[in-house]
Amino acid sequence: MASSSTSTRVVSQLGAAGLAALLAAVCLLHAGGVAAAELCVDYYDCTCPDAYKIVQGVLVEAHQSDPRIFASLIRLHFHDCFVQGCDGSLLLDTFDGMESEKDARPNNGSARGYDVVDAAKAALEDACPGVVSCADILALAAEISVELSGGPGWSVLLGRLDGLTSSKADAENLPGPFDGLDVLRAKFRNATLDDTTDLVALSGAHTFGRVQCQFVTDRLYNFSGTNQPDPTLDSAYRAFLSQRCPRNGDGSSLNDLDPTTPDNFDKNYFTNLEVNRGFLQSDQELKSDPSAAGTTAPIVDRFAGSQDAFFSSFANSMIKMGNIRPVTDPSQGEVRARCAFVNSD
């Protein structure tokens, strides 16, 4: 198996299609309970050939009653990969004194979609018992969610095992809505991702979904303790948000991250940033922070001008993120029977 540093260099030098093709060529399919040496696109071709279709069917059904679910599922994959790597640790409930990542501040009360992941797991267990990991379900659900919302598809690399531990402490340090650009860049570097292109591309997932008022009220009424609004916030958009999120109002009220096409995966997130209409501080920082001019702002400009450029970079960055510290050694992971619990001995 390639070292993590080697994998990172390979990932950074190849596009989405080239990366998927390369890893598919070198991986070994699992057999007889032995995990693959490397993630690959055809990992389940022999053991669960309908895995993708099964997950897709569950998501399509869930979306009929929950239009937010696609954005919620990609967020789960993101939050999973940034803590201990893409190992399904986010899905674990608290057990044996190990606190669940679900209870960390960035997840508690806002991360959602666990029931849909459980439904996909149950459907896969019916078809292929003990084969498809919960970590891989998150990766598949993220790609399916984006593609069904009008975004790009990509060849999902598979073969992750589910980890045996979780880390609420590490989950407390996920990239957050109030982070400045320097903090965001540092967190992406710490995750072995590029702190400019990957940061901007993956932030583009905020082109769909909803967000609670509590994450914008400081920008509207008391930015950085000034008792004034964020000066980078477009005045008309600020007036609109003030109606939606009044001072001392219900902090859990939901708003569209992208007011133009709230349920479509497109480049409008970036066109919003161009005119100072990013909902979250961490989003607008990519364009408006003083240090952004030589780092992230040109990438925002490029994606605002070309949806094809955004889609290509997003697919590549998703593959890179999905390759963060995957568990492939069966002595360090397993295929959980239920995503919220490690298997009993």
Hey, which residues are catalytic here? 79
Distance of CA 190 to the CA centre of its chain: 16
**For residues 140 and 21, is the Cβ–Cβ distance under 8 A?**
no
Q: How far apart are CA 315 and CA 320, in angstroms?
A: 9
CA-closest candidate to residue 266, choices 123, 92, 161, 149: 149
Q: Torsions phi, psi of 161, nearest 5?
A: -95, 165
Alpha carbon of 297 to those of 46, 132, 270, 288, 310: distances in Å? Answer: 45, 40, 10, 7, 14
Q: Which residues pair with 210 in a beta bridge?
A: 256
Q: How far apart are CA 79 and CA 61, in angstroms?
A: 24
Parallel/antiparallel/unpaired status of strands 254-256 and 210-212: antiparallel
- The three-state secondary structure class of 260 is coil
Q: How far apart are CA 146 and CA 130, in angstroms?
A: 27
- The three-state secondary structure class of 341 is strand
Residues 6+ apart with CB under 8 A from 61: none
